Chains A and B, each alone.
Chain A
Amino acid sequence: MPEKDALVAIHGARGPRDVVITTMCAARDWMTLPQQPLDLVFVPSAMGHATSVGLGLALAQPDRRVIVCNGDGSMLMNLGSLVSIAGAGARNLVVALFDNGVYEVTGSQPTPAPGCVDFAAIARGAGFESVFEFSHLESWQTNVHRTLTCPGPTFIWLRVEPAVGVPGPRSPGPAGERARRFRDALRS
């Protein structure tokens, strides 16, 4: 399925109190959609760490659902974070993996073993409570709401096609100020 369409499904299904963290191409595409104060566009990032920021937010805000839209290269860089998430019992955390098999932002070089990695098995093995896999847009669109509301931690493996020739994300503004606004939005 096209990666942007897969993301649009999450945009439509997220609840008004949900936090959504996006990184890499998911961040780029998210910024083209209507924004909310509880969106954390994780640009600039430390590659691989969107899931860790998500864990911290999920622990600090246990009554909110936290959805992390991550890239496969980023996930591979911090696979241990799946174990940390499960170990911490972050039941309100959803990791949505946009697996396009490439490092799209840097020009679509292949990841070390594209098509060979069973991310569902890794998530299950790390101790995730609910694990899903979708390759077809219609099936994902039909099930997106159900999967987001399952007991977590939840891992959703989305097999997507990379966009061709689209530049990567740019930061939407000074990160320090955005952090302050985001923190305030969580308090209100």
Chain B
Amino acid sequence: MFTGPQIAELLEQLGVTHVVTVPDSTIGPWQAAIEQRERTRLVRVCREGEAWEVAAGLHLGGASPLVMIQCTGLFESGDAIRNVLHDWKLPVFAIIGYRSYLNQDTLPGDTCLVFTEPVLDAWKIDYHILTKPEQFGSIAEHFSACRAASTPGAIIVAEGGA
């Protein structure tokens, strides 16, 4: 839906210093463009729970991190999200790929469609779902609103298959 250069340029403009990530087939290809930016560094981690806590350390250290993962990784991240967003009250922002959202007819059995939104609600994450390329501007809008309010938030990017 979005290209790597589009995302990389936007994140740099928004002042994101580190993108902490585990890839999927939609957000993974953005890595190359992010790595080319001078002011945004890519940090690769082994599992998504780590990503939130690395972002917590970055935030405590004065940086402006962003977590970039798939919704499967959101499921993996529960205890870290609880700790970072709710215990320590750190305003970490995330971009999360919503697997199979755009393929509901061909992939009706993907349980990501069943659990992603309830899990986001359970963790009290203020999220916007983007389903069309024309909604690109919403990323900056929601990110900036969350930053101004010093609250966590997420952009959920609708994806095709796994």
Contact = CB atoms under 8 A, between A and B. Distances in A.
Interface of A: 40, 44-49, 52-61, 78, 80-81, 83-84, 87-88, 175-176, 179, 182-183, 186-187
Contact of B46 (A56, A80, A175): A80
Query: DSSP majority for the A interface?
Result: helix
Interface string B26-43: 000000000000000101
Contacts of B18: 56, 59-60
16 contacts: A44-B83, A44-B88, A46-B79, A53-B53, A56-B55, A56-B59, A56-B65, A59-B18, A60-B63, A78-B49, A80-B45, A81-B45, A84-B45, A87-B44, A88-B44, A179-B89
A60 B59 CA distance: 8
A39 B89 CA distance: 18
A56 B79 contact: no
A175 B89 contact: yes
Contacts of A187: 62
Contacts of A56: 18, 20, 53-61, 63, 65
Interface of B: 17-18, 20, 41, 43-47, 49-50, 53-63, 65, 79-80, 82-84, 87-90
Nearest to A171: B87
A44 B90 CA distance: 13
Contacts of B53: 46, 49, 52-53, 56
B49 A60 contact: no
Contacts of B46: 80-81, 83-84
A128 B44 CA distance: 16
Contacts of B83: 44-46, 49
A90 to B, nearest CB: 10
B82 A46 contact: yes
A53 B63 CA distance: 13
